[in-house]
């Protein structure tokens, strides 16, 4: 039962975040840094608490997408280096300068403005992602321009297929970046070179260079949207609600908009006060599952803005029972070592069988990825934190 009867709570286990950071840093070469990516409000987990936990575990950089996200960290008293990944307007660059952040650059005018404002830049080279960045042949000249202006800090790129089984394109990108990094490091020995995301970090040291930038794996979510436990990471988030009521549906009764579920026999129906305005996607109606007091129950009918309905066994479920949308049942953390994978790959024999639903399973039902599931939780879902340092 939820204390205080919040409609929905995202419980974030900060010790899982710390564990994941330590795991991701385990194979880094000496001197390589870990950048904890906390953009998009820490992938829905809360940027400031996650940033603090990551720094406590050994991260030395923080990554965000916008100037306002950098300002949020500074307003919370966080002083670690912050790198803003996304494109910035002139006003955004000025805000970055005031917050003491570093920025990503891929054009001469932007570098010139960064020189004027004295903002350190990381030159971005497009090795195959096909979005932002200069071509490898242009990068040396842009680095020279930034260096002459006294603002050159790093060289970076981004993998397009590091989370896919076919490594051919990954190897092409890695070879391109490695050659360019070696060339420019000879010219600028203090240049910080980085390309690895979560998937590339877990592949091993060849892609680690001077820093890795991990987002999804730091939250205990699998970069390939499969089984996070295989890489030794732990899901950090559990989303829970409760049974607000139970009704009896008689044969022929329908539930929800459009009458998409009709009872074939007398059925106990549980009402859960969570809907798509909380981030519980409408497409899960008549296909998703939740845990009611630790037991899997199917979602029936359409998910509406503020409510959803589930089919309860004849002998299970009472008003006030915990309903887990994803995560582990009961007092288990969001998905720690007591949880078991029950998705497409089948149960893992090396994990005890505490009932739980992984975010990756929900994503699979929706035909999307775990990133979208956690980032889609709205502010109406209350965030609570386990393992928070009382001194912060």
Q: Residue 293 sits in a domain of what CATH number?
A: 2.40.37.10
The alpha carbons of the chain give a radius of gyration, in whole angstroms, of 23
* CB atoms inside a 10 Å sphere around CB 218: 33
- Is the pLDDT score of 254 beyond 90? yes
Q: What pLDDT is stored for residue 338 in this prediction?
A: 38
* CB atoms inside a 10 Å sphere around CB 327: 25
Any domain includes 380: no
Instruction: Clarify whether residues 155 and 286 are in a common domain.
Output: no
Instruction: Clarify whether residues 43 and 91 are in a common domain.
Output: yes
Q: What pLDDT is stored for residue 354 in this prediction?
A: 80
CB 156 within 8 A of CB 196: no
Any domain includes 378: no
Instruction: Clarify whether residues 157 and 272 are in a common domain.
Output: no
Q: What pLDDT is stored for residue 388 in this prediction?
A: 80
Q: Outline where the chain has alpha helix (H).
A: 14-25, 39-43, 47-57, 67-75, 90-99, 108-117, 139-148, 168-187, 198-203, 359-366, 370-375
* CB atoms inside a 10 Å sphere around CB 352: 9
Q: What pLDDT is stored for residue 330 in this prediction?
A: 80
Q: Which of 102-106, 286-290, 339-343, 369-373 has the lowest mean pLDDT?
A: 339-343
Any domain includes 146: yes
Instruction: Clarify whether residues 132 and 273 are in a common domain.
Output: no
- Is the pLDDT score of 86 beyond 60? yes
**Residue from 39, 43, 124, 238 carrying the catalytic annotation:** 39
Instruction: Clarify whether residues 109 and 243 are in a common domain.
Output: no
pTM attached to this predicted model: 0.92
Q: Say whether 371 is catalytic.
A: no
Over the range 367-392, which residues count as b (16 or more CB within 10 Å of their CB) and which as e? Answer: eebbbebbbebeeebebebebeeeee
Dist CA 369 CA 113 (whole Å): 37
Q: What pLDDT is stored for residue 5 in this prediction?
A: 67
Instruction: Clarify whether residues 50 and 81 are in a common domain.
Output: yes
The torsion defined by the Cα of 305, 45, 2 and 266, in degrees rounded to 10, comes to 40
Total tally of structural domains belonging to the chain: 2
- Is the pLDDT score of 171 beyond 60? yes
- Is the pLDDT score of 347 beyond 50? no
Instruction: Clarify whether residues 212 and 247 are in a common domain.
Output: no
Mean pLDDT in residue range 21-44? 96
Dist CA 389 CA 366 (whole Å): 36
Any domain includes 171: yes
Span 206-251, pLDDT tens digits: 999 999 999 999 999 999 999 999 999 999 999 999 999 999 999 9
Q: How confident is the model at residue 348 (pLDDT cuts 50, 70, 90)?
A: very low
Distances (CA, A) of 43 to 5, 69, 235, 280, 377: 25, 12, 12, 16, 9
Span 172-211, pLDDT tens digits: 999 999 999 999 999 999 999 999 999 999 999 999 999 9
Any domain includes 387: no
CA dihedral sign of residues 312, 315, 318, 321: negative
Over the range 242-280, which residues count as b (16 or more CB within 10 Å of their CB) and which as e? Answer: bbbeeeebeeeeebbeeeebebeeebbbbebbbbbebbb
Q: What pLDDT is stored for residue 6 in this prediction?
A: 86
- Is the pLDDT score of 274 beyond 50? yes
Any domain includes 263: yes
- Is the pLDDT score of 124 beyond 70? yes
Any domain includes 232: no
Instruction: Clarify whether residues 181 and 262 are in a common domain.
Output: no
- Is the pLDDT score of 343 beyond 90? no
Which of the 8 DSSP states describes residue 23? H
Any domain includes 224: no
Instruction: Clarify whether residues 206 and 254 are in a common domain.
Output: no
- Is the pLDDT score of 331 beyond 70? no
Mean pLDDT in residue range 109-129? 98
CB 234 within 8 A of CB 351: no
Instruction: Clarify whether residues 190 and 260 are in a common domain.
Output: no
Backbone angles phi, psi at 240, to 5 degrees: -130, 150
Q: How confident is the model at residue 128 (pLDDT cuts 50, 70, 90)?
A: very high
**Residue from 188, 238, 242, 257 carrying the catalytic annotation:** 257
* CB atoms inside a 10 Å sphere around CB 135: 10
Q: How confident is the model at residue 4 (pLDDT cuts 50, 70, 90)?
A: low
Over the range 54-90, which residues count as b (16 or more CB within 10 Å of their CB) and which as e? Answer: bbebebebbbbebbebbbbbeeeebeebbbbbebbee
Instruction: Clarify whether residues 200 and 335 are in a common domain.
Output: no
Distances (CA, A) of 72 to 20, 75, 104, 203: 23, 5, 19, 32
- Is the pLDDT score of 344 beyond 70? no
Which of the 8 DSSP states describes residue 296? E
Q: How confident is the model at residue 119 (pLDDT cuts 50, 70, 90)?
A: very high
Share of the chain above pLDDT 70, in %: 92
- Is the pLDDT score of 349 beyond 60? no
Domain that holds residue 20: 14-219
- Is the pLDDT score of 342 beyond 50? no
Q: Which comes out higher in pLDDT, residue 182 or 337?
A: 182
Instruction: Clarify whether residues 98 and 154 are in a common domain.
Output: yes
CATH at residue 183: 3.20.20.10
Query: Which of 103, 76, 79 has the alpha carbon at shortest distance from 92?
Result: 103
Domain edge (last residue) among 187, 219, 251 = 219
Q: Say whether 43 is catalytic.
A: no
């Amino acid at each position: 039962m939820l204390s205080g009867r919040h409609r929905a709570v995202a419980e974030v286990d900060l010790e899982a975040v710390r564990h994941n950071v330590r795991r991701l840093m385990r194979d880094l070469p000496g001197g390589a840094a870990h950048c904890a990516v906390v953009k998009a409000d820490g992938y829905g987990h809360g940027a400031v608490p996650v940033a603090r936990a990551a720094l406590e575990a050994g991260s030395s950089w923080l990554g965000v997408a916008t100037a306002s996200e950098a300002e949020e960290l500074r307003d919370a008293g966080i002083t670690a280096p912050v790198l803003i990944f996304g494109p910035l307007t002139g006003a955004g660059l000025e805000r970055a300068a005031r917050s003491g952040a570093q920025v990503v650059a891929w054009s001469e005018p932007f570098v010139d403005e960064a020189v004027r404002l004295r903002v350190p830049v990381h030159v971005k080279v497009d090795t195959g992602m096909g979005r932002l960045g200069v071509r490898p042949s242009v990068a040396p000249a842009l680095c020279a321009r930034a260096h002459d202006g006294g603002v050159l800090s790093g060289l970076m790129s981004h993998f397009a297929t590091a989370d896919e089984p076919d490594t051919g394109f990954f190897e092409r990108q890695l070879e391109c970046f490695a050659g360019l990094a070696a060339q420019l490091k000879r010219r600028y020995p203090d240049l910080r070179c980085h390309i690895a995301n979560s998937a590339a970090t877990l592949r091993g040291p060849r892609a680690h260079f001077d820093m890795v930038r991990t987002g999804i794996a730091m939250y205990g979510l699998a970069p390939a949207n499969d089984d996070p436990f295989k890489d030794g990471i732990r899901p950090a988030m559990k989303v829970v609600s409760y049974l607000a009521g139970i009704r009896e549906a008689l044969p022929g009764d329908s539930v929800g908009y459009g009458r998409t579920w009709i009872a074939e026999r007398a059925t106990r129906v549980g009402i859960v006060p969570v809907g798509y305005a909380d981030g519980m996607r409408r497409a899960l109606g008549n296909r998703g599952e939740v845990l009611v007091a630790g037991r899997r129950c199917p979602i029936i009918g359409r998910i509406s803005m503020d409510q959803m309905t589930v089919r309860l066994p004849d002998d299970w479920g009472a008003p006030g029972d915990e309903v887990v949308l994803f995560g582990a049942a009961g007092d288990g953390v969001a998905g720690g070592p007591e949880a078991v994978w029950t998705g497409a790959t089948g149960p893992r024999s090396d994990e005890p069988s505490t009932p739980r639903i992984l975010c990756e399973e929900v994503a699979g039902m929706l035909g999307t990825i775990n990133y979208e599931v956690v980032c889609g939780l709205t502010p109406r879902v209350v965030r609570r934190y386990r393992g928070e340092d009382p001194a912060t």
